[in-house]
Amino acid sequence: MEELIRIASRFALEGNIAEIKPLGNGLINDTFKVTTEGAAPDYVLQRINNAIFQDVELLQNNIVAVTSHIRRKLEAAGETDLDRKVLRFIPVKDSGKTWLLEDGKYWRISVFIPDAKTYETVNPEFSRYAGKAFGEFEAMLADIPGKLGETIPDFHNMELRMRQLREAVAADAAGRLAADTGELKAILAEIDRHGEEMCKAERMYREGILPKRICHCDTKVNNMMFDQDGNVLCVIDLDTVMPSFVFSDFGDFLRTAANTLPEDDPDWEHVAFKMDIFKAFSEGYIAGTKSFLTPVERENLPYAACLFPFMQAVRFFADYINGDTYYKIKYPEHNLVRTRNQMALFRSALAAVPEMSAWIASL
């Protein structure tokens, strides 16, 4: 706590700090809410996980480029209340930078968005709004000046994720495969059966028929802020905003919002892909992206809905085999439980592809 106050005080905050408490449930960074006294805004303090985001300067440059671009657009469109519609990062007092390096740890602070809510689950109506909002987010970034760097190179490259899984298997660093009684091998076999099919996006990219665009790349349902009436205020958690396929944003939202259960629920037999959420979200997304979405991107949205549970399963499973070095875990089997859950979601989404395709074609 004292460390946190000392860190927060290095930033050019308004008001005096009253308290600092943990916030949210991200798997990568550590997040805190900084409450101030009186009318000054509250803030969000984050310790950036620099084992994962190795180039914090590039990361923050991306985020500042994105948030100031969006802010300018909203201003030009006559929007008000901008601090609730786009994140604002606070500079460090002595350096003017939006990040602080102290004792080997990286920190940043943004304005806390008041009277806003995040959700772990959404109904079809909110999904439609979210689809439109993520689509419009991509549309706003279509003309961002300059180039954004890849904060995590090849982040959503399925071919890379398959290679990383194979490397994890070959090393078996935690001895988990050696101790396997059959389940792990069965998961690996199932992943192998679908791996090539799921790497379709990379092939289309090499063939020149699929573009990369600036995407959010972590469109989990809880990364969107809503006001009390269900209107979308803004998109948060901008660490992974970078060039990617639109499948990233479409697929990752559905991975979290269309699952009947949370991504780490052990009851994987009750995991299913919710078509009502898919239908509502895709309606919103196609409306929000009508200025740029190509027929190839559009036709492959059902593939994207399968790709993201699959990719997440491969990532969780590789981390399990590596001995849990990437994602925060709460108990030893956590990454395996997450893998089972995401594989079940993948199977359910895959079975729904014909229905998804018919729906997209009808829009």
Residues lying near ligand GN1 in the complex (CB under 6 A): 26-28, 52, 218, 220, 237, 240, 263, 312
Extract long-range pairs of 320-329: CB within 8 Å, 24+ residues apart. Answer: 320/176, 321/165, 321/168, 321/169, 321/172, 321/173, 321/174, 321/176, 321/177, 321/184, 322/168, 322/171, 322/173, 322/174, 323/173, 323/174, 323/176, 324/174, 326/52, 327/27, 327/28, 328/27, 328/28
Which one of ligand GN1, Mg ion, none is in contact with 157 (Cβ closer than 5 to 8 A by kind)?
none
Residue whose Cβ sits closest to Mg ion: 237
SS (H, E, C) 83-134: HHCCCCECCECCCCCCCEEECCEEEEEEECCCCCECCCCCCHHHHHHHHHHH
Nearer to Mg ion, 219 or 341 (CB): 219
Shortest Cβ 239–ligand GN1 spacing (Å): 6
Q: How far is the CB of 361 from Mg ion (least distance, A)?
A: 33
Least separation in angstroms between residue 324's CB and Mg ion is 19
Q: Among residues 17 and 311, whose Cβ is nearest to ligand GN1?
A: 311
52 binds, among Mg ion, ligand GN1, none (CB under 5 to 8 A by kind): ligand GN1
Our CB check for ligand GN1 shows the closer of 110 and 240 to be 240
Cβ-based nearer residue to ligand GN1, 293 or 314: 314
| Shortest reach from residue 52's CB to ligand GN1, in Å | 6
Per-residue exposure over 255-288, b if at least 16 CB sit within 10 Å of its own CB, e if not? bbbbbbbebbbeebeebbbbbebbbbbbbbbbeb
> Are 228 and 311 in contact, with CB atoms under 8 Å apart?
no
Helix (H, G, I), strand (E, B) or coil at 269: helix
**Which residue's CB is nearer to ligand GN1, number 224 or number 301?**
224
Residues that bind Mg ion (CB under 5 A): 26, 223, 237
**Of all helices (H) and strands (E), which one includes residue 175?**
none
Q: Which residues contact 94 (CB under 8 A, 6 or more apart)?
A: 10
b/e burial code for range 132-144 (CB count within 10 A of at least 16 → b): bbbbbbbbbbeeb
Give the separation between CA 248 and CA 175, rounded to whole angstroms.
32
Q: Whose Cβ is closer to Mg ion: residue 223's or residue 289's?
A: 223
Report the nearest approach of ligand GN1 to the CB of residue 300 (Å).
20
The distance of closest approach from Cβ of residue 338 to ligand GN1 in the complex, given in angstroms and rounded to an integer, is 8
Nearer to ligand GN1, 13 or 255 (CB): 255
Query: Binding partner of residue 138 among ligand GN1, Mg ion, none, CB under 5 to 8 Å per kind?
Result: none
Question: Least distance to ligand GN1 from the beta carbon of 363, Å?
Answer: 26
Instruction: Identify what 116 binds: Mg ion, ligand GN1, none; CB under 5 to 8 Å per kind.
Output: none
